[in-house]
Amino acid sequence: MKKLFALFFVLISTFSFAQEIIWQNRLGGSGQDNAKSLIKTADGGYLFGGNTTSPVSGDIIEPVYNQIDYCIFKMDSLGNVQWQRTFGSNGDDNLETMIQTPDGGYLIGGHSASAALGDKSENSKGGYDFWIIKTDANGIKLWDKTIGGSFYDRLFSALPTLDGGFLLAGFSDSNISGDKTQNSYGTYDYWIVKIDSAGSVQWDITYGGSEDDAFKKMFPTADGGYILTGDSNSPISGIKTVGPGFWRIKINATGGIEWQRTEINIVSFIQTMDGGYLFYKISYSSLPDYQIVKTDSSFNLQWQKYYRGNSYDYIRQVAESPNGGFLVCGVSRSILKLDKTEPAYGTFNYDYWIILIDEIGGIISQNTIGGFDDEDIISVVEDANGEFAVGGYTESNLGGDLSENTNGGSDFWIIKLSNNYNLIHGKTYADLNTNQSQEPGDPGISYLKLTEANSGRFTFSHPNGFYSIAILDTGNFEVAPDYVNLFNPVPLTHTGNFSAIQQIDSLNDFAFQPGGTFNDLCISISPLGNFRSGFNANYALNYSNLGNTTLIPTIVFYPDNNVTFVSASITPTTITPDSVVFILSTMSPFQNGQITITVNVNTGLPIGTLINSGTMILPIANDANPGCNSSFWEVFTTGSYDPNDIIVNRKFIYDYEMPAPPDLEYIIRYQNTGNDTAFTVKILNPLDTNRLDLSTLEMVATSHPADIRFVYHERNLEFVMNNILLPDSNINEPLSHGFVRYRIKPKSTVAVGDSIQNYAAIYFDYNYPVITNKTVTKIIQPTGVQEVPQGNISIFPNPTNSKVTIRLTETAEKVSSVNIFNIFGQEVKAIKILPTHTAEIDISDLSQGVYFIKLNNNNQLISKIVKY
């Protein structure tokens, strides 16, 4: 019987769930459309405002009057546009702030240099003036007012007052003139203007020092007053009693100063629900980073945190979550490094970098959101349920997180984020006695992929067979497991049903019942770390019994001629010059194991020498899937190199293979080279989802038990190896290594000239990550491929469909015979030739595929060739 229960009271897993996009909308026309303000409306929707130069086009249904005009969109709670309005005149009209008024309408404000034309009823009073527009609930203009002096007056903030009027705030360099009743103290000063409900000026006050004081934002306080904020270059002068910096002035309801302060590098702040303050700053230790400073109500420091990438990171907005914690929003050009777990999409472009932190600044989750050009954030609005709407603008086209193409230039872009979700839980196990009940003899099936049909989201079962899939909606959702060779899942699917958010639908178990009696042994070989001439190196042999019979396997390790067997983690049964044999004890169905083998790489080998050791598991006779009974992996000797890396089995894919793309098999290798035991290792592996087909992702092997998931909002394949007690390399070098290995197919849409790149970030305990090298697999045409020398051997043309020429250097030992093996290690051709440095071999009788050519001389050179 399935169970449905609330998520709040259940410890679900070690994973956290980030704020993910649940909807988005891109708005604009054929010109430039730049968002400036986003507010929540009383009906649960949003008002999104900014500036436009667009004619009627795209989402703009009211054209620009002349140059730059106010532009507002009213949206419902799902981001659907309900109406759009454009307000403007013959000059530049720049919207900066919006509020909803008690009558359900809106007050729209900014600054304008326009004359009394179009929507503007009064001429400019000199340069820019405050320009406010009062509308009804449908955005229809009721009245407008132009407020200013003889020079430049710019409005940036507006708030309602208790008497039904409004307080306007901005900066001004006007002297007494127009609506301004005080002279400037220097250049730009803070300027606030109190108006009544009809827009008539009641009073104004100027605050400033002898230099520029650029107002930014005004905040209401619980006592009915306000805090004015901005950036000030003024020393103590005028009414200013503090030095330069981020200048905060606390005023009462009538504008009287109660206190003032300055700090350096502050962007802004919010008042927190505990009565304190949270300041957000840009830290300039080297490149700009996020910095958060939390104080109590008296501005005493409680804590501060830094959030760092490796490039330019600018904090923009912070919002407090009603569920606790804060959403920290800004833009970043950083790659996956330091605190950042997801790279920016473009090489030199800014994307949103959004971090959810707890009440003391610890990172809960994060998300990099954007496209392949620049994005910027201007507003964050929190909902009562812990969801957030983030407003900004984008210059990117369709791609990355952008679901729509540009309408012209830059566009408004709103995204709705949520970390509210439901979970479908269950387990996968081998039901060997077919009674659809997991008993002590029925092992869990690890690393099995399960997919939810509606969303395409998938997960992997844990080492014990448990699985969990996060669903971001209510309703019915169907989950199905991947195929397990020769086993049938009962049932074929499960359906999770959710009537609300934050629920768990549990006991969705899959019993895999055998379709008969069969043997199925499998093995893989993975090189651990790099192979350096004259040094020891290691392999991991991972083996498993995937059938439903009990077997006594024999494993044979075939060392390459350029390495010498040294030792193994279990004692070999026999050792010969060309093989090492292990006769294992009885293996039950779905039991698995690992042997770590240490070899010594021969001295004197040049860098780039091919080493191709292999392994086989027996018996092969009567095995239901003999294709996985053998395994080989090519490595090339290197010099000194970081042992934390990623390797791939294919550097090239040929265009004729793409109708049915081959697997790319990746091994991410890690080693504890520190001076103490590593308890937890985490790997983040960003996947190129534009070129790799996630539906084909399949686990091959891991050195240690791992919890595996694909983090959708980061496009990261995540591996977490908890409590593995990985020794450091000084204590136990062979066991200081680990790896994860998986395979995935390219999308059939990749074309000649495309490259598939891959890399990973490896975290040891709580340290900053080690960033691996980057693998590159190129899509190429066979025609015109040049011979590729590998040590002393050249084979060309490669690939070929008929004959191949083998050429050795004159200093190499002549070859007298050639053996050709398929990828399963089976010999398919043997050729005797007169001792020579050059030979032509006919392989036209072989099927298409990858083959290994073994040249028999003193060095027994091996190379790979592709037959098409």
Residues 498 and 395 in one domain: no
CA separation for the pair 110, 157 (Å, rounded) = 8
In a domain, 335, yes or no: yes
Which one, of 725, 724, 722, 693, lies nearest residue 710 by Cα? 693
Cβ(343)–Cβ(349) under 8 Å? no
Rg (CA), the chain: 34
CA separation for the pair 841, 514 (Å, rounded) = 45
Give the pairing of strands 707-711 and 755-758: unpaired
In a domain, 584, yes or no: no
Give the pairing of strands 422-430 and 503-506: parallel
CA separation for the pair 705, 460 (Å, rounded) = 13
Residues 443 and 509 in one domain: yes
Give the pairing of strands 510-514 and 422-430: parallel
Element spanning 827, H or E: strand 827-836
Q: Coil, helix or strand for 735?
A: helix
Q: What is the pLDDT of residue 854?
A: 81
pLDDT in tens, 561-590: 899 999 999 999 999 888 999 999 999 999
Residues 463 and 408 in one domain: no
- Give the residue from 390, 417, 444 where a domain finishes: 417
Q: Which amino acid, 469?
A: I
Which one, of 193, 129, 138, lies nearest residue 166 by Cα? 193
Residues 727 and 663 in one domain: yes
Residues 676 and 770 in one domain: yes
- Give the residue from 781, 810, 830 where a domain finishes: 781
Give the pairing of strands 81-87 and 93-100: unpaired
Q: What is the pLDDT of residue 831?
A: 84
In 78-128, DSSP assigns E strands to 81-87, 93-100, 106-112
Which one, of 259, 297, 261, 265, lies nearest residue 278 by Cα? 297
Q: What is the pLDDT of residue 790?
A: 46
Which token pair is 451?
């997919």
In a domain, 816, yes or no: yes
Q: Which amino acid, 28?
A: G
In the numeric block, the tokens 């910027």 are attached to 376
In a domain, 388, yes or no: yes
Segments forming the whole domain that contains residue 313: 266-417
Cβ(671)–Cβ(733) under 8 Å? no
Which one, of 863, 853, 855, 850, lies nearest residue 799 by Cα? 850
Residues 413 and 270 in one domain: yes
Q: Phi first, then psi: what are they for 596, rounded to 5°?
A: -100, 125
Which one, of 104, 91, 108, 87, lies nearest residue 36 by Cα? 108
Cβ(467)–Cβ(460) under 8 Å? yes
How many alpha carbons lie under 13 Å from residue 684 in its C-beta half-sphere? 23
Cβ(391)–Cβ(9) under 8 Å? no
CA separation for the pair 204, 207 (Å, rounded) = 10
In 546-691, DSSP assigns E strands to 554-558, 563-568, 574-576, 579-583, 592-601, 610-618, 630-636, 645-648, 652-654, 664-671, 681-686
CA separation for the pair 546, 589 (Å, rounded) = 6
In a domain, 405, yes or no: yes
Which token pair is 585?
């004890």
CA separation for the pair 281, 270 (Å, rounded) = 12
What separation, in Å, do the N-terminal and C-terminal C-alpha atoms of the chain show?
54
- Give the residue from 721, 751, 781 where a domain finishes: 781
Which one, of 79, 106, 92, lies nearest residue 32 by Cα? 92
Residues 378 and 328 in one domain: yes
Tell me which DSSP letter residue 406 carries: -
Residues 754 and 843 in one domain: no
Q: What is the pLDDT of residue 750?
A: 92
Cβ(746)–Cβ(691) under 8 Å? yes
Residues 707 and 821 in one domain: no
Q: What is the pLDDT of residue 812?
A: 65
Which one, of 813, 814, 666, lies nearest residue 744 by Cα? 666
Cβ(563)–Cβ(600) under 8 Å? yes
480 forms bridges with which residues in the sheet?
451
Which one, of 258, 415, 269, lies nearest residue 351 by Cα? 415
Residue 6: count other Cβ atoms within 10 Å of its Cβ. Answer: 10
CA separation for the pair 740, 646 (Å, rounded) = 10
CA separation for the pair 416, 25 (Å, rounded) = 9
In a domain, 587, yes or no: no
CA separation for the pair 538, 557 (Å, rounded) = 12
Residues 383 and 286 in one domain: yes
CATH number for the domain including 683?
A: 2.60.40.740
Residues 730 and 852 in one domain: no
CATH number for the domain including 862?
A: 2.60.40.10
In the numeric block, the tokens 């293979």 are attached to 657
In a domain, 714, yes or no: yes
Overall number of domains in the chain: 4
Residues 837 and 730 in one domain: no
CA separation for the pair 32, 330 (Å, rounded) = 22
Q: Phi first, then psi: what are they for 735, rounded to 5°?
A: -90, 0
| Positions of the chain with pLDDT under 70 | 1-18, 782-793, 809-812, 823-825, 858-861, 868
Q: Which distant-in-sequence residues (6+ apart) come within 8 Å of 510 by Cβ?
A: 426, 427, 428, 429, 450, 481, 489, 490, 491, 494
Q: Which distant-in-sequence residues (6+ apart) come within 8 Å of 533 by Cβ?
A: 601, 602, 603, 604, 605, 606, 607, 609, 637
Q: Which distant-in-sequence residues (6+ apart) come within 8 Å of 505 by Cβ?
A: 2, 3, 4, 422, 423, 424, 425, 496, 497, 498
In a domain, 16, yes or no: no
- Cis bond upstream, residue 797 (ω within 30): yes
CA separation for the pair 34, 412 (Å, rounded) = 6
Q: In which region does residue 496 sit, left (phi positive, over 0), alpha (psi from -120 to 50) or beta (all else)?
A: beta
Q: What is the pLDDT of residue 846?
A: 85
CA separation for the pair 42, 524 (Å, rounded) = 61
